[in-house]
Amino acid sequence: MLNLERLRTLDAVARHGSVSGAADGLHVTTSAVSQQLAKLEREAGQPLLAKNGRGVRLTDAGRLLAEHAARILSQVAVAQADLEAQRGRVVGDLRISAFPTAARGLFPVALAALRVGHPQLAVCSQELEGEDGVRGVVRGDLDLAVVLDWYNKPLPMPEGMAKRALLDDIADIAVPADHRLAGSAEVDLEEFAQDEWITWPEGEFCREWLMFTLGGKGFEPRISHVAGEHHTQMALIAAGLGVGVAPRLGRGPVPDGVRVVPVRDALRRHVYAIWRADADRRPSIRAAVDALLTAGAGVTDQPGVRDG
Q: Which residue has the higher pLDDT, 52 or 64?
A: 64
> Do 149 and 274 meet the contact criterion of CB atoms below 8 Å apart?
no
Q: What is the mean pLDDT of residues 12-31?
A: 84
Tell me the pLDDT tens digit for each residue of 36-49. Answer: 888 998 888 889 98
307 pLDDT higher than 60: no
Which one, of 251, 242, 249, lies nearest residue 221 by Cα? Answer: 242
CB atoms within 10 A of CB 220: 11
Which one, of 93, 92, 43, lies nearest residue 65 by Cα? Answer: 43
pLDDT at residue 101, rounded to an integer: 93
% of residues, the chain, pLDDT over 90: 58
- Say which residues have a Cβ less than 8 Å from residue 28's Cβ, sequence separation at least 6: none
> Do 265 and 192 meet the contact criterion of CB atoms below 8 Å apart?
no
Task: Please report which confidence band the pLDDT of residue 86 belongs to, taking 50, 70 and 90 as the band edges.
Answer: low
Tell me the pLDDT tens digit for each residue of 227-278. Answer: 988 899 999 999 999 999 999 999 989 999 999 999 999 999 999 999 998 8
Phi-psi group of 55: left, alpha or beta (phi > 0 → left; psi -120 to 50 → alpha; rest → beta): beta
Q: What is the mean pLDDT of residues 93-101?
A: 94
pLDDT at residue 308, rounded to an integer: 36
Domains and CATH numbers, the chain: 4-85 (1.10.10.10), 168-268 (3.40.190.10)
- Amino acid at residue number 291: A
Task: Please report which confidence band the pLDDT of residue 169 belongs to, taking 50, 70 and 90 as the band edges.
Answer: very high
pLDDT at residue 2, rounded to an integer: 83
135 pLDDT higher than 90: no
Instruction: Give the H or E element holding residue 219.
Output: none
Tell me the pLDDT tens digit for each residue of 180-224. Answer: 999 999 999 999 999 999 999 999 999 999 999 999 999 999 999
- Say which residues have a Cβ less than 8 Å from residue 67's Cβ, sequence separation at least 6: none
pLDDT at residue 274, rounded to an integer: 97
79 pLDDT higher than 50: yes
- Output the pTM of the full model: 0.75
Average pLDDT taken over every residue of the chain = 89
